Amino acid sequence: MALNIVIAGSSGRMGHALLEATLADTDLKLHAALDRADSPHLGRDAGELFGAACGIKITADSAAALQGANALIDFTRPEASMEYLAACRKAGAGMVIGTTGFNAAQKQTIADAAKEIPIVFAPNMSVGVNLLINLVQTAAKVLNQGYDIEIIEAHHRHKVDAPSGTALRLGEAAANALGRDLAQCAVYGREGITGERDPSTIGFATVRGGDVVGDHTVLFAATGERIELTHKASSRATFALGAVRAAKFIGSRKNGLFDMRDVLGL
């Protein structure tokens, strides 16, 4: 039996990709499409946004949308995600969260909710990025002396948080492999007379511009050589396909907090 899926943020760029991926997957059924209360697209057929009417009208009523749903997929903003999370808890539906920019309290709320419903929470749903995370961990363990670690990420001009959630996750992977605390060793941007680089730090550089979907590079730099591990996304479809895979993963689960490495068995 197909899983009933609700898509949040349906009128956005990522929402379009999620709708297409859900409608194309025979194991899933689009159950409802949600958008913010002031969206000009409320009442429209969700499929019309990308030229393929599907019979599902966009709504802002999350409680009604979640009746009979198995899971909600959310790539919106932290504040909206918290509202959708509360609705999922009340309805007993699972949730796939690809939103980034959560603060510590919001992350704790997600962890608490996972005691009641199944949640896949990951800053990046791409299969390739999650493989990259594992590769970074392996590289950091091997290159544990004499190598400076820098993380460079680029995204489109509309992204509102920096560094990206994926960049931070890559930094955590490297720091954990080296027995460091990222909160203590991260350096976010440099300006002026900074002095020599502290070898225990992990640096982050952020680029915002144009329509870049998402580029991430982890640079290990030593005397005489550099190792660069890079992932470049050319389409939001890669994140959408990972998200629907995550929705299938939690389809038969009653509760628990998972990430994409659990989904992929990494």
Residues 17 and 137 in one domain: no
pLDDT at residue 1 in the model: 79
Residues 194 and 226 in one domain: yes
Supply angle C-alpha 114, 118, 12, rounded to 5. Answer: 100
pLDDT at residue 241 in the model: 94
Q: What is the CATH number of the domain that holds 49?
A: 3.40.50.720
Residues 81 and 213 in one domain: no
- What would the pLDDT profile of 141-186 be if each residue is shown by its tens digit? 999 999 999 999 999 999 989 999 999 999 999 999 999 999 999 9
pLDDT at residue 53 in the model: 82
Higher pLDDT, 189 or 246: 246
Residues 139 and 112 in one domain: no
**Catalytic residue (choose from 155, 158, 216, 248):** 155
Residues 109 and 215 in one domain: no
Q: What is the CATH number of the domain that holds 170?
A: 3.30.360.10
* pLDDT at 51 > cutoff 90: no
- Look up the domain containing 73 and give its range: 3-125+236-264
Annotated catalytic residue 155? yes
d(CA 10, CA 76): 9
pLDDT at residue 184 in the model: 96
**Catalytic residue (choose from 159, 216, 231, 254):** 159
Annotated catalytic residue 57? no
**How many domains is the chain partitioned into structurally?**
2
* pLDDT at 52 > cutoff 80: no
Residues 227 and 259 in one domain: no
Question: Are 151 and 216 within 8 A, CB to CB?
Answer: yes
* 125-162 per-residue burial string, b: 16 or more CB within 10 A, e: under 16: bbbebbebbeebbebbeebeeebbbbbbbbbeeebebb
d(CA 117, CA 258): 11
The position carrying tokens 């038969």 is 252
Residues 8 and 110 in one domain: yes
Residues 64 and 17 in one domain: yes
* pLDDT at 49 > cutoff 80: no
- What would the pLDDT profile of 195-215 be if each residue is shown by its tens digit? 999 999 999 999 999 999 999
Question: Are 234 and 213 within 8 A, CB to CB?
Answer: yes
